[in-house]
Structure 1
Amino acid sequence: MKEKAIEYLMQNPILHIGMIEPIRRGSADILYADFDGVLIKELKSKAYMISVTSYEKGQELLNLIPKCSLIAVHQKYMVEYILNKFKLTKRFECFQTVYTGKTKREIKEELEVKPLEENQIEVILEHYDKLSMDEIKELLRNKSLFGGYKEGNLIGFIGTHLEGSMGLLEIFPQYRRLGYGEVLESYMINLLIDKGLVPFAQIEVNNEKSIGLQKKLGFTISEDRLYWIF
Structure 2
Amino acid sequence: MYQLQTNIQEILNNDPIQNMAVIGFFGNYKLDNFYQKDKSFLLLGSSDYTWAYCSVQNKEDLETLIENMDYETSYFANVEDWMLPILTKEKRIEWRLTTERLYIPEGKEVEPSEIECKHIDKALAGFIYSNSAYKDFTSVEYICDRLIKDISAGYFVDGELVGWALTHDDSSIGFLNIIQQYRGQGIGENILRYLTTERIKTNRPAFVNIESQNIQTKKMLAKIGYEFDRKVSWVKLV
TM-score, structure 1 length as denominator? 0.80
Cα distance change of structure 1 residues 35 and 128 upon mapping to structure 2, 3 Å threshold: same
**1:217 maps to 2:224:** yes
Question: In structure 2, what residue type is equivalent to 1:92?
Answer: L
Q: CA RMSD in A?
A: 3.1
Aligned to 1:127: 131
CA distance in 2, matches of 1:157, 1:24: 23
Give 1:212 deviation, angstroms: 1.2
CA distance in 2, matches of 1:81, 1:109: 47
**1:115 maps to 2:82:** no
Aligned to 1:94: 99
Cα distance change of structure 1 residues 28 and 95 upon mapping to structure 2, 3 Å threshold: farther
**1:14 maps to 2:21:** no
Identity %: 20
**Cα deviations by residue, 1:80-121 (Å, 9 ceiling, x for unpaired):** 553575665111222211112446643353234222332x23
Cα distance change of structure 1 residues 103 and 77 upon mapping to structure 2, 3 Å threshold: closer
Aligned to 1:226: 232
TM-score, structure 2 length as denominator? 0.77
Return 5+ residue gaps in structure 2 as ranges. none
Question: In structure 2, what residue type is equivalent to 1:164?
Answer: S
CA distance in 2, matches of 1:155, 1:83: 42
- SS where residue 110 of structure 1 aligns? coil
**1:172 maps to 2:179:** yes
- SS where residue 177 of structure 1 aligns? coil
On the 8 A contact 1:104/1:189 being kept in 2, the answer is no
On the 8 A contact 2:29/2:46 being kept in 1, the answer is no
**1:71 maps to 2:76:** yes
What aligned pairs does 1:20-169 form with structure 2 within 5 A after superposition? 20-22=23-25, 28=31, 31-33=34-36, 37-42=40-45, 46-63=50-67, 64=69, 66-82=71-87, 85=90, 88-102=93-107, 105-107=110-112, 109-118=114-123, 120-130=124-134, 131-142=138-149, 144-169=151-176
CA distance in 2, matches of 1:26, 1:137: 15
Q: How many correspondences in the alignment?
A: 227
On the 8 A contact 1:82/1:88 being kept in 2, the answer is no
CA distance in 2, matches of 1:212, 1:57: 36
Return 5+ residue gaps in structure 1 as ranges. none
- SS where residue 144 of structure 2 aligns? helix
